[in-house]
């Protein structure tokens, strides 16, 4: 790995950690002035931890994609090497055939029509010699054609191998950088989560009870079709805890819940809020219907699933179970996406 890219990765890791420090306005150890201040600080810390969690997940997705590119580049390199070996073998084989035919021609095996006529003992002998000359010429032309094609194939294989080698090197380098990025993001997220948990532990028992309230757990009618099936799954998770980075089935984070819900309905959507914010098609707030994904905050770091035009179900944050809430109370809406229909 070059010294430049090593410094680049180190700088990237430092930038991630520095960014995490910037987004935390008040250390977890600071004592809020009032009970409401303590709860607000907890909410702020968890929002920031959730954003770092989504960033970490996104980096993991990027690494997975880059490793896929690396695998493809390695496969292309192996195939290009195999084709190159085959093409070079063909080149040598056909070159040898051309050399033999050329040698035979120089030794007198190839005659013109007059020579064949002069040395022929009979008309049939002349025809036989002429036929042999035709076959020899055709063989030579065919061998020359195959040699030319083999040379071209060898050149193409060499160029393909060089390209594959370059792509492999780039993909390996970028994968290594992403791995470092993930490590830095994980460290920043862990610190933020620890701060949020410390703040949660400092809350009063009544405050914790308010956060732990499961909300409306009554039966909810869902529409038919894919969106209804996804919503039915999400509603069935009410009361389960939120855990940063969890993928279920006993606990969730916001985007793992919506991903699992649509997977249950037979539709694959991405893992992170950032990529979920691009699925399907955009709809307006007035058009919201059951199953729509509602992405919150300018950084698009939280997602909920619409129950109807007023309510949504979501995995909120640690200390708060999966529950139904008013759509507009969750946070500022960034975008609303309809996955199907």
Has 314 been annotated as catalytic?
A: yes
> Do 171 and 66 form a contact (C-beta atoms < 8 A)?
yes
Instruction: Give the CA count within 13 Å in the CB-facing half-sphere of 72.
Output: 9
**DSSP-based three-state secondary structure for 338:** strand
Task: Tell me how crowded residue 76 is: count the other CB atoms within 10 A of its CB.
Answer: 17
d(CA 165, CA 171): 10
d(CA 61, CA 159): 31
Instruction: Round to the nearest angstrom and report the end-to-end CA distance of the chain.
Output: 48
- How far is residue 220 CA from its own chain's centroid? 36
**DSSP-based three-state secondary structure for 237:** coil
The CA radius of gyration of the chain, in Å to the nearest whole number, is 35
Angle at 282 between CA 280 and CA 288, to 5 degrees: 105
Q: Could you tell me the CA-to-CA distances from 246 to 54, 291, 318, 322 in Å, in that order?
A: 11, 21, 11, 13
Catalytic residue from among 5, 56, 264, 302: 302
> Do 334 and 289 form a contact (C-beta atoms < 8 A)?
no
Catalytic residue from among 5, 56, 264, 314: 314
d(CA 260, CA 237): 11
Task: Tell me how crowded residue 316 is: count the other CB atoms within 10 A of its CB.
Answer: 22
Angle between helices 205-212 and 35-106 (to 10 degrees): 50
**DSSP-based three-state secondary structure for 217:** coil
Catalytic residue from among 5, 56, 254, 264: 254
- Residues annotated as catalytic are 254, 302, 314
């Amino acid at each position: 790995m070059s010294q430049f890219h090593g410094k680049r990765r180190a700088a990237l890791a430092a930038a991630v950690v520095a960014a995490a420090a910037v987004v935390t306005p008040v250390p977890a150890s600071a004592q809020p002035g009032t009970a409401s201040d303590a709860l607000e600080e907890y909410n702020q810390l968890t929002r920031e931890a959730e954003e770092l969690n989504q960033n970490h997940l996104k980096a993991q997705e990027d690494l997975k994609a880059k490793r896929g590119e690396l695998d493809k580049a390695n496969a292309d390199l192996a195939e290009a090497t195999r084709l190159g070996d085959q093409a070079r073998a063909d080149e040598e084989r056909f070159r040898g055939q051309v050399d033999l035919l050329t040698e035979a021609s120089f030794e007198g095996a190839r005659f013109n029509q007059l020579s064949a006529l002069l040395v022929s003992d009979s008309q049939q002998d002349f025809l036989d010699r002429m036929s042999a000359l035709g076959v020899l010429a055709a063989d030579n032309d065919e061998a020359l054609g195959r040699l030319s094609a083999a040379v071209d194939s060898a050149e193409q294989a060499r160029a393909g191998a060089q390209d594959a080698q370059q792509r492999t090197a780039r993909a390996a380098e970028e994968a290594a950088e992403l791995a470092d990025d993930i490590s830095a993001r994980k460290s920043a997220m862990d610190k933020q989560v620890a701060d949020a948990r410390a703040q949660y532990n400092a809350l009063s028992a009544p405050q914790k009870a308010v956060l732990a309230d499961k909300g409306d757990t009554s039966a909810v009618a869902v529409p038919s079709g894919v969106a209804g099936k996804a919503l039915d799954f999400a509603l069935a998770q009410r009361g389960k805890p939120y855990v940063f980075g969890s993928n279920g089935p006993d606990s969730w984070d916001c985007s793992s819940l919506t991903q699992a819900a649509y997977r249950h309905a037979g539709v694959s959507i991405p893992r992170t809020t950032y990529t979920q914010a691009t699925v399907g098609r955009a709809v307006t707030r007035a058009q919201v219907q059951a199953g729509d994904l509602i992405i919150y905050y300018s950084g698009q770091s939280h997602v909920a699933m619409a129950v109807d035009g007023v309510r949504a179900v979501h995995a909120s944050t640690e200390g708060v179970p999966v529950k139904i809430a008013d759509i507009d109370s969750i946070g500022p809406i960034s975008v609303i996406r309809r996955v199907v229909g």
